[in-house]
């Protein structure tokens, strides 16, 4: 054999040494090949982009620290490619028991039975969801919106009118209006004239005084209620006739004023300069509210069938009528068309 042939055979024998006379484990073979290349294990891990602990476990034959047998064989093949050695002898030395053990360790995780969610758990999740304050708040708002949209406005007006009718009725009976004051005013001034004693001088003057006292007493009924007492003279039958004549005109005037007051419509306010007249007549139960330009509520109550109310206020007047079909309005002598401005038998308008 020539020196040239010997030199060529030496590297081949050196390269075949790990496979023929190498160690008995794959990890030792990989470690010896790496050390022969002078490559640090950290540099090899950076080249393969694998954690250094995985390489150390493979070189120390600690296969249980690796994920599975497939990973160990792939890592060994990659190391052989970087170290430029044959991979078949190294792969043949990898123990199969380690692969089976690792596969057994993985199998239970892969064969876990699928747990179907029971139907009984669904309501529990929904109940937990409904207990949250945000969900409850949104639900309450949705229910309120649906209720407001579904309930007609006329029904709301009628319910409101019924609740307000009781306080307004008690207020109306307790506070007499101007019309009732006209009928009852003479009653307060009737009692003083009964105590009036006309001066009597003689029996001959009794008849003229009785006839003269009849026309002079009615003006005093509207005046002050201070009793007038005159000095009495000699007693005679004339004072009885005079007193009877004096008490008769106030009774007649009281009846006349009461009759006149009964024929007048109810006034909702005292007329003032610059106010606009408005007449409200109800043919059925109707809630009517009138507010003037100053924001003063002139009328706000439930009208009964046949009620006629005169309202005086500073224009423009804002009205709200709860029953259009049973209400008539006359503003400044002209009838107001409520049907054209009504919606669900409820009208909101402004008169100027």
Beta strands in 18-140 (DSSP E): none
Q: Which DSSP letter does residue 203 get?
A: S
pTM: 0.27
Residue 179: pLDDT band by 50, 70, 90 thresholds?
very low
Q: CA-CA distance, 104 to 291, in Å (whole number)?
A: 90
Say what the pLDDT of residue 114 is: 52
Q: CA-CA distance, 165 to 179, in Å (whole number)?
A: 21
Q: At what angle do helices 178-188 and 238-262 cross, to 10 degrees?
A: 180
Mean of pLDDT over the chain: 68
Say what the pLDDT of residue 308 is: 94
Distances from the Cα of 181 to the Cα of 13, 260, 262, 304, angstroms: 140, 12, 11, 21
Q: Please state, as a whole number, how many other Cβ atoms lie within 10 Å of the Cβ of residue 111.
A: 7
pLDDT over threshold 80, residue 290: yes
Say what the pLDDT of residue 25 is: 85
Tens of pLDDT, residue by residue over 89-140, are 888 888 664 444 444 444 444 455 555 555 444 555 556 666 677 878 888 8
End-to-end CA separation in angstroms for the chain: 134
Say what the pLDDT of residue 233 is: 42
Q: Helix (H) and strand (E) counts for the chain?
A: 15, 10
The answer to whether the CB of 113 falls within 8 A of the CB of 46 is: no
For residue 184, the number of C-alpha atoms closer than 13 Å in the C-beta half-sphere is 6
pLDDT over threshold 80, residue 267: no
Residue 248: pLDDT band by 50, 70, 90 thresholds?
very low
Say what the pLDDT of residue 326 is: 93
* Least confident window among 24-38, 83-97, 104-118, 254-268: 254-268
pLDDT over threshold 70, residue 291: yes
Phi and psi, residue 180, nearest 5°: -70, -30
The closest alpha carbon to 221, from 244, 240, 246, 238, belongs to 246
The closest alpha carbon to 347, from 327, 310, 320, belongs to 320
Sign of CA dihedral 280, 286, 292, 294: positive
* Least confident window among 40-49, 217-226, 283-292: 217-226
The closest alpha carbon to 36, from 83, 86, 93, 87, belongs to 83
- Cα 191 from chain centroid (whole Å): 61
The answer to whether the CB of 29 falls within 8 A of the CB of 21 is: no
Q: CA-CA distance, 91 to 94, in Å (whole number)?
A: 5
Sign of CA dihedral 37, 43, 49, 55: positive
Tens of pLDDT, residue by residue over 53-83, are 999 999 998 988 888 888 888 899 999 999 9
Residues 6+ apart with CB under 8 A from 267: 177, 178, 179, 309, 310, 311, 312
Q: CA-CA distance, 318 to 213, in Å (whole number)?
A: 53
- Can you read off the two tokens belonging to residue 75? 């890592």
Say what the pLDDT of residue 262 is: 40
Say what the pLDDT of residue 336 is: 93
Domains recognised in the chain with CATH numbers:
18-108 (1.10.260.40), 136-175+265-352 (no CATH), 190-262 (no CATH)
- Cα 17 from chain centroid (whole Å): 89
Q: CA-CA distance, 344 to 140, in Å (whole number)?
A: 27
The closest alpha carbon to 350, from 298, 304, 313, 315, belongs to 315
Could you tell me whether strands 266-267 and 308-313 are parallel, antiparallel, or unpaired per DSSP bridges?
A: parallel
């Amino acid at each position: 054999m020539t020196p040239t042939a010997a030199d060529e055979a030496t590297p081949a024998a050196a390269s075949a040494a790990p496979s023929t006379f190498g160690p008995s484990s794959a990890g030792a073979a990989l470690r010896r090949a790496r050390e022969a290349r002078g490559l640090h294990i950290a540099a090899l891990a950076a080249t393969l982009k694998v954690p250094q602990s995985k390489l150390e476990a493979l070189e120390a034959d600690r296969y249980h620290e690796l994920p599975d047998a497939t990973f160990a064989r792939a890592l060994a093949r990659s190391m052989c490619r970087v170290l430029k050695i044959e991979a078949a002898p190294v792969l043949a030395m990898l123990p199969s028991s380690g692969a089976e053990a690792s596969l057994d360790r993985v199998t239970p995780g892969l064969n876990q039975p699928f747990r179907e969610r029971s139907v009984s758990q669904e309501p529990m999740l929904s109940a937990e969801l409904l207990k949250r304050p945000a969900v409850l708040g949104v639900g309450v708002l949705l229910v309120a919106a649906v209720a407001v949209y579904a309930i007609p406005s006329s029904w709301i007006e009628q319910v409101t009118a019924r609740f307000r009718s009781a306080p307004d009725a008690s207020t109306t009976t307790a506070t007499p209006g101007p019309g009732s004051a006209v009928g009852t005013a003479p009653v307060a001034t009737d009692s003083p004239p009964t105590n009036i004693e006309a001066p009597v001088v003689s029996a001959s003057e009794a008849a003229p005084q009785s006839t003269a006292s009849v026309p002079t007493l009615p003006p005093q009924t509207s005046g002050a209620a201070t009793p007038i007492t005159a000095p009495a003279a000699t007693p005679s039958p004339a004072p009885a006739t005079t007193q009877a004549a004096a008490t008769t005109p106030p009774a007649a005037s009281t009846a006349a004023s009461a009759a006149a007051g009964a024929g007048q419509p109810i006034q909702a306010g005292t007329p003032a300069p610059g106010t606009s007249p408005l007449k409200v007549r109800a043919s059925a139960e109707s809630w009517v509210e009138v507010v003037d330009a100053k924001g003063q509520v002139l009328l706000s109550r439930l009208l009964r069938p046949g009620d006629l109310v005169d309202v005086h206020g500073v224009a423009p007047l804002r009205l709200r009528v709860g029953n259009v079909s049973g209400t008539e309005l006359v503003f400044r002598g002209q009838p107001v068309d409520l049907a054209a401005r009504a919606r669900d038998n409820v009208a909101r308008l402004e008169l100027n």
